[in-house]
Amino acid sequence: MHLIGEHVVVSDQALNYLRNYLESKNYSAIFVLVDENTAKYCLPHLGDLEMHLIQIESGETNKNLDTCTRIWDALFRAKADRHSVLINLGGGVIGDMGGFCAATYKRGIDCIQAPTSLLAMVDASVGGKNGIDYRDYKNFIGLYVEPAMVFIQPKLLDTLPERQFMAGYAEMLKHGLISDAAYWSELKEVNKRRLKLQIEKSVELKHSIVGEDPHEKGKRKWLNFGHTIGHAIESYCLENGRDFLHGEAVAAGMYMEAIISAKTGLTHEDILQVRETITKLYPKAPVQANEAPEIWSFVLGDKKNKSGQVNCTLLTSIGQAIYDIRIHFPEFQEALNIYLSS
């Protein structure tokens, strides 16, 4: 077992440790939030745990208040009290939304994250961000509340589709780009034999950054690299019914924000390194250059902005980020054109 901080467990037996933890806590009721995929592939790993099951549909399109109402209704009908616990057994959507519902039900019940996707393991389950989408804007409604525990079992990834795996891998690439050049160099070639160690590394990097700045007033903004443009592309695709995953959008965002990072000192050679790696690993976003104004409108609605100014995290070098850098539409348009023509 690898313990990170006081409440993140990484182990191929993590769900066994989860069962032991539940026995030690004496909760009044145990609720498990799943989707149709985690109900089939991951729920059996919890064994014969006495629990109430809440199942929702998978996918970012369901990360909204309507689904939250269904979750709250299920808790209400089962008479969940403030001594109950909600286990989020799933990917980033389950973790973000389940955390939000737990934190707001009766002003808060315990939440345990049991991530089943690579994205959730290295990013969504760590750091206490909980939220849902609103009018196609990503994570627009939410709050910061740390889970009681996080149990990460890398072997659950054995059934994860390759496309979903690579979507999570984008967040790991980001961790290297913003804080560890050697880790970035290692990740440029996918090596699943080292995956467990890499998951531990990514979680440690994020945990360290969040520990210094839990409410994103400073250094935690590093973690937004790739997300200002990436979230806008993801939201635009979501609004227009185009299939593009969060991690794929973040990869596209990192490509473009690396180009814009020339203004903060990122060298031409390092920009090419980022571009070549992302081009090799990820599909192109299903957008066109003439759609830049519509995509920019989502950038303008980003929750990190201040007084109508777009604040972005950029790179000064591989392994070093800088936050609250203002970017403008012409810079985005140029970066998008380069991205689409490469």
> What are 59-78's pLDDT values in tens digits?
999 999 999 999 999 999 99
In angstroms, the Cα distances linking 224 to 271, 321, 323, 334, 339 are: 18, 10, 8, 21, 19
167 in the same domain as 107 = no
SS (H, E, C) 193-245: HHHHHHHHHHHHHHHHHHHHCCCCCCHHHHHHCCHHHHHHHHHHHHHCCCCCC
Vertex 312 angle, CA 8 and 253, to 5°: 75
**Which two three-digit tokens encode residue 68?**
């939250």
Q: Which CATH number is 195's domain given? A: 1.20.1090.10
Total domain count for the chain?
2
- Domain boundary pick from 106, 124, 159: 159
115: closest CA among 96, 131, 100?
96
Least confident of 3-7, 171-175, 322-326: 3-7
- Domain boundary pick from 159, 187, 210: 159
Looking at the annotation, which residues are catalytic? Answer: 107, 129, 171, 206, 216, 220, 224, 227, 231, 246
From CA 4, how far away is CA 26, in angstroms rounded?
A: 24
Task: For residue range 169-189, list pLDDT tens digits in order.
Answer: 999 999 999 999 999 999 999
- Give the distance from CA 215 to its chain's centroid: 16
Task: For residue range 27-62, list pLDDT tens digits in order.
Answer: 999 999 999 999 999 999 998 889 999 999 999 999
List all residues 6 or more positions away from 106 whose beta carbon is below 8 Å from its beta carbon: 80, 81, 82
What is the pLDDT of the chain when averaged over all its residues? 96
116 in the same domain as 39 = yes
What residues make up the domain containing 98?
A: 2-159
Q: Is 259 helix (H, G, I), strand (E, B) or coil?
A: helix
Task: For residue range 77-98, list pLDDT tens digits in order.
Answer: 999 999 999 999 999 999 999 9
51 in the same domain as 93 = yes
227 in the same domain as 154 = no
- Domain boundary pick from 123, 141, 159: 159
Sign for the pseudo-dihedral over CA of 242, 278, 211, 321:
negative
Query: What's the pLDDT at 137?
Result: 86
Q: Burial, 315: exposed, middle or buried (Cβ in 10 Å; 0-12, 13-18, 19+)?
A: buried
206 in the same domain as 109 = no
Which residue shows structure tokens 């800088």? Answer: 322
322 in the same domain as 235 = yes
215 in the same domain as 81 = no
180 in the same domain as 250 = yes
Task: For residue range 267-314, list pLDDT tens digits in order.
Answer: 999 999 999 999 999 999 999 999 999 999 999 988 788 778 999 999
Torsion of CA 140, 297, 249, 220, to 10 degrees: -50
135 in the same domain as 195 = no
Query: What's the pLDDT at 136?
Result: 80
265 in the same domain as 187 = yes
From CA 322, how far away is CA 314, in angstroms rounded?
A: 6
Whole-model pTM above 0.85?
yes
CB 206 within 8 A of CB 164: no
230 in the same domain as 190 = yes
Q: Which CATH number is 98's domain given? A: 3.40.50.1970
186 in the same domain as 238 = yes
